[in-house]
Amino acid sequence: MADTQKLVSLRTCDNVLHKVPEHLTLQMRTIRNLLSCKIFSDTDTVIPLPNVSSQMLEFVIKWCEAIGPGDKALGSMQLSTLLTATLPDLEESELVYDLMKAANYLEIESLLEATTQHVADEINNCNSLESVCELFGLENDIGPDDEEGEWW
């Protein structure tokens, strides 16, 4: 079917111009707010996204397509599994964090919930302090001055 759908122009931080169907961008609250202002509603305007890279935007678009516009609010567990399903190369941790930042900047509720739940699950799977430190590359800088004993 021929689509008279509007395309929105987005320029990412690496100066690449992306044309994205409007119904997908409506899931991103930041862009939705911008589009609701009359100034941006003609097709010539380009919306700059200085905090988002091309790679991230591609992921985000894939996600928005997977979720679909009219869906009811999915539970965070379902979202998390959807995340690992649609974006399988997300196993490396740094991509998750970049995606999380992009979701935060673009205000995509579902993606933010999915990525944060994913990281929370990773923390839950850790059996000890050391593994948490290892997982996130952190250093334990708490001295023996903890006033709270281990109640568990």
Partner 1 sequence: MSLLAYNGDDVSSSDTEPDALIDFTAMLMQRQNEYGNWLGCGGKMQNDHNEQGYHLEQYVLGVLDFSSQYGIDYSISYTAANIIGRPTKFPAYGDYPETFTMRTYGDWWQRAPSATREIQPQNMPAVATHDYIVVYFEDFVVPTEVAIFETYNPGAVVRIWAHSITKNWVCLWKASAEELSKSGPAESRAREARRFAPPLKKTSIITKTLRIDFNHSRLHYYTEVDAIMLCGRTVSLRRMQHTLQELQRTGPISCKLRSLKFQPSCRDNYALKLHEFINNDLSKFLVDNKVDESDVASATATTQIVASNVPDICLTDLPFEILLKILSYLDLKTLFCVGQVSRTFYDISTHPLLYGELNLKPYWQLANSELLCTLAKRATMLRKLDLSWCGGFGDVSPTEFKKFLTQRGDNLTHLRLNSCKFLNATCIETVGIVCDNLTELSLRNCATDPPLLNFSCLANLKNLERLDLFQTAFESELLLSMLEGNRKLKHLNLAFCGVSVNMDNVASHLATYNTQLISLDMWKAHFLSARGLQSIARCTQLEELDLGWCLREASLGDGLYQLLANCPKLKKLFLSAVRGTTERDLVHIATLGKNLEQLDLMGILNITRERIYDILVNCPKLQLLDLSFCDNIMERDFDVIAEWSRMFNVDIKSSHVPYDAR
Residue 121 in tokens: 């699950």
User: Looking at beta carbons only, is 8 or 118 nearer to partner 1?
Assistant: 118
Residue 100 in the binding site for partner 1 (CB under 8 A):
yes
60-75 b/e with 16+ CB inside 10 Å = b? bbebbeebeeeeeeee
Task: Please check whether residue 140 is in contact with residue 133, taking contact to mean a CB–CB distance below 8 angstroms.
Answer: yes
| Binder of partner 1 out of 70, 88, 137, 144 (CB under 8 A) | 137
| Binder of partner 1 out of 76, 81, 82, 107 (CB under 8 A) | 76
Residue 145 in the binding site for partner 1 (CB under 8 A):
no
| Binder of partner 1 out of 44, 89, 91, 148 (CB under 8 A) | 148
Which part of the chain contacts partner 1 (CB under 8 A), choosing from 10-18, 33-41, 61-69, 119-127? 119-127
CB neighbour list of residue 47: distance below 8 Å, 6 or more residues apart:
8, 9, 10, 11, 31, 34, 40
Residue 36 in the binding site for partner 1 (CB under 8 A):
no
| 3-state SS class at 8 | strand
Chain residues in the site for partner 1 (CB under 8 A): 76, 93-94, 97-98, 100-101, 104, 112, 116-117, 119-121, 123-124, 129, 132-134, 136-142, 146, 148-152
